[in-house]
Chain A
Amino acid sequence: MNIIYFLIGCSVLLALVFLLAFFWAQRSGQNDDLYTPSVRILLDDETEPQDKK
């Protein structure tokens, strides 16, 4: 089952990449404000803001 070495290798590498991504996110302040962005995405309709009624 040598294939397992390889599959583990891939999985761990993949996971590592995501870990690095997480580090980047953390460092660059992506996770500093974990509320406002969720509201912000609702406000992008510049041309015709949807009326709430």
Chain B
Amino acid sequence: MTESIFTEKTTCYHCGDECLSTSYVVEDKNFCCLGCKSVYSILSANNLCSYYNFNDHPGLTRARTDKRFDYLDEPGIVKELVDYADDNLTIVTLYIPHVHCSSCIWLLEKLNKFNPGILYSRIDFLKKQLNIKYDTKQLSLKQLVELLFDIGYEPLISLQDVIKKQNRVNAKDNLVQRIAVAGFCFGNVMLLSFPEYLGLSAFEQAFKHFFGWLNILFSLPVVFYSGREYFVSAWQNLRNKVLNIDFPLALGIAVLFARTVIEILTQTGAGFADTLCGLVFFLLVGKFVQRKTYHHISFERDYRSFFPVAVQVAINGTEKPVPLADLKVGQRIILRHNEIIPADAILLKGEALIDFSFVTGESIPVSKTLGEIIYAGGRQTSEAIELEVVKPVSQSYLTQLWNNEAFTRQQDNRMQTFNERVSKYFTYVLLAIAFGSLVFWLPTSLNRGLAAFTAVLIVACPCALALSTPFTMAAALSIFDKNLFYLKNTAVVEQLAKIDMIVFDKTGTITTAADNQIVLTGTLSALETELVYSTCINSNHPLSRMICQYLGKVNKHELDHYKETPGGGINALIGKYDVRIGSGKFLFGEFEETAGQTRVHMLINGRYCGYFAFRQNYREGLQQMVDGLSAYQTFLISGDSDHEKNELLPIFKAEDRMGFNQSPQKKLDFIQLLQRLKGKVIMIGDGLNDAGALKQSSLGIAVTDNINNFSPGCDAILDGRSFNKLPAFLKFSKNTVTIIHCSFLISLTYNLIGLSYAVSGNLSPLTAAILMPLSTATIISFTTVATHFAAKRRKLL
């Protein structure tokens, strides 16, 4: 086939990628591949091309066009995936990673245009979830998914869909409503308490009682609806013999309410309704702030969340999808391009070119030869292959990790938060003072005693105390967020500050999968360059593509003969030139690659013109980054051989800080070892092979170059781009904790001021009503300002 020589760079109308060939053109629109072209033709067929008007190149590049969703015909699997199904209606929620712009929303909510069987399709943009209701009679799940695939929105279907789980949790939570009620009552009570403070003239006393009654009315829902949970948790904690902060809070609320009611009924005072409502309102707001999480990121993923749901099994000649759970040893499975190997298996047929980036972070595919054992987790990147399962899914080299006790262990309470530790003592002291003042006044007068007792419990009610942590944490969290460092929850910030050891994985963590370095050893003349380019451009092998990109745009020559030996190399005839490109084995027969590098050698007319070497870059700023962590003990554990040792030595200083050829299990054990040495360890990894270590560590951070991609279960996800900010993050987390301590001091001083009034037994509602919001306001503003200041100092803002 002949192709015109590119004049200027053309980009794909659908996905915006560079078009390496001009063979895909429709109505003067260029496409980079058949996939993109077909999507366009589907859209134009349904005249939905407005899709392209809202944004340029809204699509996702579609190198592959074959679809295999047969397993979605398996009733068992379908049952797993759908939310609801009966004879006429099926409801399913799918996670669609590619959703990224308004065009996506527009198109995905128009699915009905493609198939009238689809009754309803709604997208949640931030969660990237598509909720679909369709007519079971007219459409099957498989057809639906295929449709999505055809228009370039392949859903990510996995057995473990964490995001859905997260949603269910939020669904039944009604915190917002409790806040609304509290806020509403707070507003009205303030309104009604004002006249009291501003002084009602004699002839307006009637209002006083009227307002008083209304106040009681308004505080009822606040106490018994909004504030209920505090009583509950206080009671439960008492039952388990623990005093947490909820106890004094519940006590405070109760006392406030009781005194309010009594004072108003006996007309001895105005009561504390406004303080009460304000207290509950602010507390709940604090809770709300603390809730801040990222619904669109999943921290709980394990291998199941990216292993296929089912795999094609060859049973006497015919293929049949089998759910992973039912996959047995000895069964023959067939994997096609881009499918993941679900269990350790032996290669029986075909050329395996396996991309292990999910497992190790190594982005350059390795080719396997017949009879070799291929570990689960790899992704086949060339033609279809056939393998025989040698271990059940759960027992595979990789997945057996999850049988480790690290995964059965309860999460989150690895470290007790400062808040929890302090509140215990606080409560004791508080009760002591309260009863003290009671006992002190009792001789003089019972009323005075009770007044003092209740007053103490009111003013010392640790509202500010309870708020300081949430607000500080929330502020910190959003700052990390801005710096592309996503924490699972606010508690992680505090844990981050306690760390003293840091363990790095190598590949994919301190190296970047994004831009691989290609080094050409040897020299190519202009002509030779053209020849190599013309040869590689015809191959889909990732290495060939990289080479083409490396060589850039040069003239292309017509090929007379072209032969690609999968896993070996290419052999091409261009005019009088015989071009051979490929692995050492392929070109020279027996050949041992030195230095564990991936290399592609070139022979033109038998002349050796050097080789391309591929290796991954270290992330920029790695050296300074590790130096910045001098305060910590840093380690490196890698699954690879130690051929990079010498380059890494200057970075990690001591040899004994670096471990190579570490199996996933070994990594986990290493973390345990450190922890036995009383180390608080961060594990920083990326692939599934780090999952064990991440889980075991005091705090696991997964590094990824695209947060929508797979990342193993962890406490925090770090975007590769801010990898070198790690020291700043750690310092900042320490500052945050300091800030919390300060705010505790502040709120304590407020409590003391209040107490000075309280113990004497004469606390006016006004004082309480002023003190409570004032302390709260101070805490909130202090924490926010301080946190931002700290962030600025760490250059995180």
| Contact A19–B181 (Cβ < 8 Å) | yes
In the complex, how many angstroms separate the beta carbon of B636 from the nearest chain A beta carbon? 40
| Contact B180–A23 (Cβ < 8 Å) | yes
- Whether B372 sits at the interface, judged by CB under 8 Å, is no
| Contact B102–A42 (Cβ < 8 Å) | yes
Chain B residue at smallest Cβ distance from A2: B206
A6-45 contacts to B, CB under 8 A, are 8, 12, 15, 19, 22-23, 26, 31-33, 35-36, 39-40, 42-43
| Contact A43–B102 (Cβ < 8 Å) | yes
Give A51 to B54 CA distance when docked, in angstroms: 7
| Contact A26–B180 (Cβ < 8 Å) | yes
Given known A23-B177, A43-B106, contact A49–B207 (CB-CB < 8 A): no
Give the contacting residue for B210; candidates A5, A36, A39; CB below 8 A.
Answer: A5
Chain A residues closer than 8 Å to B127, beta-carbon distance: 33
Chain A residues closer than 8 Å to B192, beta-carbon distance: 8
- Whether B50 sits at the interface, judged by CB under 8 Å, is yes
Q: Which of B26-34, B118-126, B283-291, B618-626 contacts A (4 or more CB under 8 A)?
A: B118-126
Give A2 to B125 CA distance when docked, in angstroms: 53
- Whether B404 sits at the interface, judged by CB under 8 Å, is no
In the complex, how many angstroms separate the beta carbon of A21 from the nearest chain B beta carbon? 11
- Whether B188 sits at the interface, judged by CB under 8 Å, is yes
- Whether B53 sits at the interface, judged by CB under 8 Å, is yes
Chain B residues closer than 8 Å to A43, beta-carbon distance: 54, 102, 105-106
B326-381 contacts to A, CB under 8 A, are none
| Contact B207–A4 (Cβ < 8 Å) | yes
Give A8 to B193 CA distance when docked, in angstroms: 13
| Contact A22–B124 (Cβ < 8 Å) | no
In the complex, how many angstroms separate the beta carbon of A1 from the nearest chain B beta carbon? 7
Interface of chain B: mostly helix, strand, loop or mixed = helix
Chain B residues closer than 8 Å to A36, beta-carbon distance: 105, 123-126
Chain B residues closer than 8 Å to A40, beta-carbon distance: 105, 109
- Whether B176 sits at the interface, judged by CB under 8 Å, is yes
Give A35 to B102 CA distance when docked, in angstroms: 11
- Whether B184 sits at the interface, judged by CB under 8 Å, is yes
- Whether B86 sits at the interface, judged by CB under 8 Å, is no
Give A33 to B109 CA distance when docked, in angstroms: 15
Chain A residues closer than 8 Å to B124, beta-carbon distance: 32-33, 36
Chain A residues closer than 8 Å to B123, beta-carbon distance: 36
Give the contacting residue for A15; candidates B54, B55, B125, B184; CB below 8 A.
Answer: B184
Chain A residues closer than 8 Å to B188, beta-carbon distance: 12, 15
Chain A residues closer than 8 Å to B54, beta-carbon distance: 42-43, 49, 52
| Contact B126–A35 (Cβ < 8 Å) | yes
Chain A residue at smallest Cβ distance from B184: A19
Chain B residues closer than 8 Å to A33, beta-carbon distance: 124-127
Chain A residues closer than 8 Å to B125, beta-carbon distance: 33, 35-36, 39
Chain A residue at smallest Cβ distance from B217: A12
Chain B residues closer than 8 Å to A23, beta-carbon distance: 177, 180
Question: By CB atoms of chain B within 10 A, which of A22, A32, A36 has the most?
Answer: A36
B674-707 contacts to A, CB under 8 A, are none
Chain B residues closer than 8 Å to A42, beta-carbon distance: 54, 102
| Contact A26–B176 (Cβ < 8 Å) | yes
B146-193 contacts to A, CB under 8 A, are 174, 176-177, 180-181, 184, 187-188, 192
| Contact B53–A49 (Cβ < 8 Å) | yes
Give A26 to B188 CA distance when docked, in angstroms: 21
In the complex, how many angstroms separate the beta carbon of B183 from the nearest chain A beta carbon? 9
Give A1 to B210 CA distance when docked, in angstroms: 13
In the complex, how many angstroms separate the beta carbon of B21 from the nearest chain A beta carbon? 28
- Whether B647 sits at the interface, judged by CB under 8 Å, is no
- Whether B590 sits at the interface, judged by CB under 8 Å, is no
In the complex, how many angstroms separate the beta carbon of B226 from the nearest chain A beta carbon? 13
In the complex, how many angstroms separate the beta carbon of A40 from the nearest chain B beta carbon? 6
- Whether B204 sits at the interface, judged by CB under 8 Å, is yes
In the complex, how many angstroms separate the beta carbon of B547 from the nearest chain A beta carbon? 37
Give A10 to B235 CA distance when docked, in angstroms: 40
| Contact B176–A31 (Cβ < 8 Å) | yes
Chain A residues closer than 8 Å to B53, beta-carbon distance: 49-52
In the complex, how many angstroms separate the beta carbon of B189 from the nearest chain A beta carbon? 11
Q: What is the 8 Å Cβ interface bit string for chain B, positions 114-136, against chain A (1 contact, 0 not)?
A: 00000000011111000000000
In the complex, how many angstroms separate the beta carbon of A26 from the nearest chain B beta carbon? 5
Give A15 to B180 CA distance when docked, in angstroms: 12
In the complex, how many angstroms separate the beta carbon of A28 from the nearest chain B beta carbon? 12
Give A8 to B181 CA distance when docked, in angstroms: 18
Give A49 to B177 CA distance when docked, in angstroms: 39
Given known A33-B124, A33-B126, A49-B54, contact A22–B180 (CB-CB < 8 A): yes
Give A31 to B127 CA distance when docked, in angstroms: 14
Chain A residues closer than 8 Å to B109, beta-carbon distance: 40
Give A31 to B288 CA distance when docked, in angstroms: 15
In the complex, how many angstroms separate the beta carbon of B126 from the nearest chain A beta carbon? 5
In the complex, how many angstroms separate the beta carbon of B480 from the nearest chain A beta carbon? 21
Give A5 to B206 CA distance when docked, in angstroms: 10
Chain B residues closer than 8 Å to A32, beta-carbon distance: 124
Question: By CB atoms of chain B within 10 A, which of A26, A32, A33 has the most?
Answer: A33
Shortest Cβ-Cβ A-B pairs, 3 listed? A49-B50, A36-B125, A43-B106
14 contacting pairs across A/B (C-beta < 8 A): A8-B214, A15-B187, A19-B180, A22-B180, A26-B177, A32-B124, A33-B125, A36-B105, A36-B126, A39-B102, A39-B125, A43-B54, A52-B54, A52-B55
Task: Spell out B's residues near A (CB within 8 Å).
Answer: 50, 53-55, 102, 105-106, 109, 123-127, 174, 176-177, 180-181, 184, 187-188, 192, 204, 207, 210, 214
Task: Given A1-B207, A23-B180, output 14 extra A-B contacts at Cβ < 8 Å.
Answer: A5-B210, A12-B188, A19-B181, A22-B180, A32-B124, A33-B126, A33-B127, A36-B105, A42-B102, A43-B102, A49-B50, A51-B53, A52-B53, A52-B54
